[in-house]
Amino acid sequence: MTTSRTRLFKEFKEVQRECKDSDLNLYPLDTNIFRWTAWLKGPEDTPFSKGRFELAISVPDAYPLVPPTVRFVTKVFHPNVHFKTGEICLDILKNAWSPAWTLQSVCRAVIALMSQAEPDSPLNCDAGNLLRAGDLRGYNSLARMYTLEYAQDSQKK
């Protein structure tokens, strides 16, 4: 646990140095270094652009040997995000985890996933089915609608 705490404080210093006014705002909650919040700016040229998305990150005691649990707090229409729980289907959060990953790099991987959905491993079958059927217009329309409804900057702090 001491190793985890030391690593997380190091990551926090790095984030403070690197993430000023960028597409990512990442910080621990209050006094608990094992609970973090991230705000992601929706990637340009996607139906998520113009949105800000909140992630809740829970770091286990065995970190960095074990991946953090990351979920969307903001509702998002995406094949790799569970509609109700916000769980994210991303290999680095499961079987492809490596201690080389940091919380910041995990957030960047989530941003990349927003740009490049993986419809063959859907947690949201409706979104996955639209993409697998080639209905990009339908998928983009629903994803944009969710972004407008749930992820607009004017509704966030």
| CATH number of the domain to which 25 belongs | 3.10.110.10
2-18 helix and 103-115 helix, angle to the nearest 10 degrees: 60
pLDDT digits (tens, 9 = 90+) for 93-139: 999 999 999 999 999 999 999 999 999 989 999 999 999 999 999 99
In the numeric block, which tokens belong to residue 106?
A: 């995990």
The domain containing residue 100 runs over which residues?
A: 2-155
pLDDT at 157: 41
Average pLDDT over residues 20-46: 90
Q: Which of 155 and 102 is assigned the larger pLDDT?
A: 102
Q: Structurally, how many domains does the chain consist of?
A: 1
pLDDT > 90 fraction of the chain, expressed in percent and rounded: 85
Average pLDDT over residues 77-90: 96
pLDDT at 65: 96
Chain centroid, CA 68 distance in Å: 12
Residues identified as active-site: 89
What is the bridge-based pairing of β-strands 69-72 and 52-58? antiparallel
Q: Which of 123 and 22 is assigned the larger pLDDT?
A: 123
Determine the Cα–Cα distance for residues 139 and 114; give it in Å rounded to an integer.
13
Where residue 69 falls among pLDDT bands split at 50, 70, 90? very high
